[in-house]
A and B are shown apart, each in its own frame.
Chain A
Amino acid sequence: MIEIRFHGRGGQGTVVASKILADALAQEDNYVQAYPEFGVERRGSPVVAFIRIDSKPIYDKSRIYAPDHVVVVDPTLVEAIDVTEGLKDGGWIIINSDKKPGEFAFPSKFKVATVNATEIAVRNKLGSLAAPIVNTAIVGVVTRILGLTKLDSLLKAVGDAISIKPENNKTAASEAYEQAGDYC
């Protein structure tokens, strides 16, 4: 079983990102469980979403405390909260950032990857310059680095889930998928 935690801010589509990933994984006959932090969300405040992935039915309905990997949708959260809380040794920290992985001071027991999903989202006219919607780029990165699904499955899931600018979102996911190849 793989457990992933997403950190974002309300309004960035973090919960939708976990749902798109779940859709893509389910197409390839995986069992998935995706859920938002149990509570109330506010635009701009830190939000968390989780996903469990397995080849067998998932019976554990408790929350995820020790994820295999974490995904940081909003880079400002790295300063605000401990995104590595409970993260298993050897796990990936995948960050939406224009910095290089070495510019972050994480312990060496974790692997760090950065992709500028914000730039990809803005270039593909997703959201506004002030509030870009980066979730489709993010799932492209996560899919590639963690080797979770084929790009085709992801693009189908993006198309099914998003009714506004579906082609731009697919392009963003594909571009992010390609860029993340640097880490594979």
Chain B
Amino acid sequence: MKKVIMGNHALSYGAMLARSQVIAAYPITPQTQVVELLSEMCADGTLDAKFIKVESEHSAMAACIGASAAGARAFTATSAQGLALMHEMLHWAAGERVPVVMGNVNRAMAPGWTIWADQNDSLSQRDTGWMQYYCASNQEVVDTVLQAFKVSEALSIPSMVILDAFALSHTYEVVDIPEAAKVDAYLPPFRPLYKLTPSDPRAFGGLTSPEHYMELRYKLQKDMEKAPALIEATGREFEKIFGRYLGLVDPYLCEDAEIILVTSGTAGYTARVAVDAMRAAGTKVGNLRIKVFRPFPFEAVRKYTAAAKKIAVVDRNISYGHHGIFSQELKSAVYGHADGKPVFGFIAGLGGRDITPASFKEVVDYAIAHEQPEAEIVWIGAKI
């Protein structure tokens, strides 16, 4: 069934269709409608879930961890300062290996006070052990919530489904809402190997001496390494049922491209418009949108950038004192594989500044004009 819905409601529909059993969330702009719709769905019986009102995001994640440990499918959503407040619990969820799925609306970190999009909130959680999916359309948001639960539950690793503030969260698009019976076939009920239950008492996350801790972390990493293949396999399985593939990356005209744009989020779709215009003018450019950031899709990135002469990464984020974060990751992915191919790093769109087709034209013009970047960061659209 096709419906015109906003990105925030796409998260709500995803959580509903996944038959989430526990939802604990705290409202924050621009995520609020996710929680509003889910609370309505719980109240009117559309969704048979326990909705837990909490006093903070830290508690929201703590409640989801407890629910997941007890064997319930748990969902929450947040943004920016709320995600930062959860930070301790994010480590806890991944360390305890509970497959919680969380929507995060990418909002820049304050101060200066802001409600607009950039990726520094979610990328600040890079090393917490969560998988991260960056979406470019409301359709992808609904679909990815379903896939995220499937992959998370198979690997016992939590997932974050991420969408840009306003450009998706408050933007209405046509979404083909997956049919419930088909979703049930794709995503069967959560059946954890171990769960918190009085009849079979166990300790979760207990004191772990130096004798055992390192092996737990080794296992988390080993399971994370299984994720790329599983994401591709569950993406194909999804495609068989729903006709839409959900992969690690979304390549657009990369095969014969001399310059490859590397993008993420909604900017990764806007880039396609720029690519079409530049192709029409004779410039061989392609766009590789990174959908999954953790685990990082090393092989897919190497494959699609192999034939290009230059790589131009556009980051809507920054690691102060270093570079844009996707550009660092790209450099580490192609190091030793790229024959000295230059990786240009651009920063654009911080704090909700718009990233337009003209922004990508500027990026590509710079990459054409320079054999090597003049600096590790080239700023796009900044008043400097």
Contact = CB atoms under 8 A, between A and B. Distances in A.
22 contacts: A19-B172, A32-B4, A32-B172, A32-B173, A33-B171, A33-B173, A34-B171, A35-B166, A35-B167, A35-B171, A36-B170, A38-B165, A38-B167, A38-B352, A39-B115, A40-B115, A59-B273, A60-B273, A61-B168, A61-B171, A62-B270, A62-B356
B173 A59 contact: no
B57 to A, nearest CB: 21
**Most B-side CB within 10 Å, residue of A19, A35, A59:** A59
Contacts of B165: 38
Contact of A31 (B116, B174, B267, B272): B174
B116 A38 contact: yes
B172 A22 contact: yes
A67 to B, nearest CB: 15
Contact of B357 (A31, A35, A40, A60): A60
B2 A61 contact: no
Interface in B87-126: 115-116
Nearest to A62: B356
Contacts of A61: 136, 164, 167-168, 171, 266-267, 269-270
Contacts of A3: none
A28 to B, nearest CB: 11
A162 to B, nearest CB: 14
Interface string A91-130: 0000000000000000000000000000000000000000
Contacts of B36: none
A56 B166 CA distance: 22
A19 B4 contact: yes
Contacts of A62: 270, 354-357
Interface size range of chain A in the complex:
20 to 34
A33 B6 CA distance: 9
A79 B379 CA distance: 38
B172 A34 contact: yes
Interface in B159-184: 164-168, 170-174
Nearest to A23: B4
A63 interface: yes
Contacts of B355: 62
B381 to A, nearest CB: 11
Interface residues of B, number: 27
A145 interface: no
A31 B4 CA distance: 10
A26 interface: yes
A39 to B, nearest CB: 7
A17 B183 CA distance: 32
A60 B266 CA distance: 8
Given A19-B172, A58-B173, A60-B273, 12 more contacts: A19-B4, A36-B170, A38-B116, A38-B352, A39-B116, A59-B273, A60-B357, A61-B164, A61-B167, A61-B266, A62-B355, A63-B356
A91 B75 CA distance: 46
Q: Which of A58, A61, A62 has the most CB of B within 10 A?
A: A61
Contact of A26 (B2, B354, B357): B2
Contacts of A59: 269-270, 272-273
B289 to A, nearest CB: 10
Contacts of B166: 35, 38
Contacts of A39: 115-116
A18 B4 CA distance: 11
A22 B267 CA distance: 22
Interface string A120-147: 0000000000000000000000000000
Contacts of B270: 59-62
A154 to B, nearest CB: 13
Given A60-B273, A61-B269, A62-B357, A26 B115 contact: no
Contacts of A38: 116, 165-167, 170, 352
B4 A35 contact: no
Contacts of A33: 171-173
- Which of A18, A33, A39, A62 has the most chain B CB within a 10 Å cutoff? A62
Nearest to A58: B173
